[in-house]
A and B are shown apart, each in its own frame.
Chain A
Amino acid sequence: MANGKLIMDAAQMRRALARIAHEIVEQTDDPQTLCFVGVRTHGVPLARRIAAMIGQLESCDPPVGAMDITLYRDDTGRQGASAHIEPTEIPFDIKDTTVVLVDDVLYTGRTIRSALDALVDLGRPARVRLAVLVDRGHRELPIRADFVGKNVPTGRNQRVRVNLEELDDGGDAVFLEEAADG
């Protein structure tokens, strides 16, 4: 399992997220309009951490939601959709807010495309930003992240595995693995 190459340990992850939090604050006029939406499953704890950091920096309490994009995927029936759909829980109005979408890894961009579709179905935010822990390249759509924890050059046959404490993955870490079969 943990035979991949460690590209980010817990301390590095904490620093990367802190930097993202600072960048978000710098680029936001009014932190009160900020809200966070994590893409299930790994984006959700990351969104909570960034929101908590900003809360400390700015003495505010940005709301955090969770989004399941399964039903918005454009590859259902190809790779197979998930049978288990988690609820999308965004218990606040995103109208006229600055939504920061948070995901762990940015790859083809298709997940984010789905997430944007899902987001506009929920309301009309003033702007949407994208924060990711790792950008591994190989975009298939014209999408880029506004805030990136770490850029990692990868091959298509490699896999980026993100472990998060909240998900009982065995401690914060990011590994680059050789995929078993392409």
Chain B
Amino acid sequence: MAEGERQRRHLLGLNGVSAADLIVLLDTAEALAEVSRREVKKLPTLRGKTVINLFMENSTRTRISFEIAAKRLSADSINVSAAGSSISKGETLADTARNLAAMSPDAIVIRHPSAGAARLLADIVDCSIINAGDGWHEHPTQALLDILTIRQYKREIAGLTVTIVGDILHSRVARSNVFGLLTLGARVRVSGPPTLLPPEFAALGVEIEYDLAAAVADSDVVMMLRIQRERQGENFFPSLDEYAHYYCLTEEILAEAKPDVIILHPGPMNRGIEISSGVADGPYSVMMNQVANGVAMRMAVLYQLIVPGADGIRGSKLAHPPKKSLPRLDAGGAA
């Protein structure tokens, strides 16, 4: 294959990624988890590779997690953030990306407030793009680490009932988890107030249950989402108090749940609003495992995308399709 034809591999989202590719990523992370428990927490694998962390939106844990992951694989990782960069001087994302690409990175990890920002980068620069969260769209590495955590407790994803609770509409974590979990054969349920849970979600293949207790009752896994305080100003719910009244995961609700249920939260959490302290610190919570898995998962993603011979992820799957003409509608427009 000629150099120009070599297909760059990207991780823009979990929508469309095959079960086989997801499993390769999860298995790789499982194998890499051991590195973080060593005395010398470093592998030479990505020596000489450059990873740029382009963070156009505040993030502490994701950025640090990617940075540690890159460093543990010996890649040089450089952080670029919105404040203090040329972006704050009015440069467009496309120009920023072209400038960074001119420095020949092997991968760009991007966090951006606009849905589709990672895809835009993949369209215009020639290096692997890893989506670290784009608007409400996807946050694939978060979902992968969530799924990895679930798998460590439940062994098989297929057949599990996973309930995601909270602001589903505005959540990229929810979307990526929905896509990934459905692909791996889980039954996925979403719960939250109707304002934050449009019925169109059902078309993705998930169940909708507005009542939290009913949603949790037969779940194997409950994933709580962070509620953004600013949503109350937008009238999606009247107040945080009322939100907490109906959607805070408490010990009382968990008392009716399966005895081996596990509770996930991508953090940072609002104690007493979407999750009670008793639950957050209780025996069902696996949040610290999520954080620990974050580094291994991101190491796995960096390894599988950057190392050219790592062909376990069939390039065509993670790569976005080449641009071609829009398809015509079926006759009658009724597709």
A, B in one complex? yes
Chain B: number of interface residues, binned into ranges: 20 to 34
Contact B308 A80 (CB under 8 A): yes
| Number of A residues, CB within 8 Å of B | 22
Alpha-carbon distance A123/B30, docked complex (angstroms): 21
Q: A82-B312, A88-B34 are in contact. List 7 more A-B contacts (CB 8 A).
A: A71-B73, A77-B308, A77-B309, A78-B309, A82-B310, A83-B310, A121-B40
Interface of B is mostly: loop
Contact B27 A84 (CB under 8 A): yes
Interface assignment of B259: CB less than 8 Å from any CB of chain A: no
Q: Which residues of chain A from 29 to 69 have a CB within 8 Å of any chain B CB?
A: 68
Contact B31 A86 (CB under 8 A): yes
Contact A85 B27 (CB under 8 A): yes
Interface assignment of B39: CB less than 8 Å from any CB of chain A: yes
Alpha-carbon distance A71/B43, docked complex (angstroms): 7
A-B contacts, 9 of them at CB < 8 A, read A71-B32, A71-B73, A72-B45, A81-B307, A81-B310, A82-B312, A83-B24, A85-B31, A123-B39
Alpha-carbon distance A86/B24, docked complex (angstroms): 11
- Please give the distance in Å from A62's CB to the nearest CB on chain B: 21
Interface assignment of A96: CB less than 8 Å from any CB of chain B: no
Closest to B25 in A: A83
Contact A122 B311 (CB under 8 A): no
Interface assignment of A146: CB less than 8 Å from any CB of chain B: no
Alpha-carbon distance A117/B40, docked complex (angstroms): 11
Alpha-carbon distance A78/B313, docked complex (angstroms): 17
Alpha-carbon distance A120/B33, docked complex (angstroms): 18
Alpha-carbon distance A156/B126, docked complex (angstroms): 38
Closest to B299 in A: A71
- Please give the distance in Å from B313's CB to the nearest CB on chain A: 7
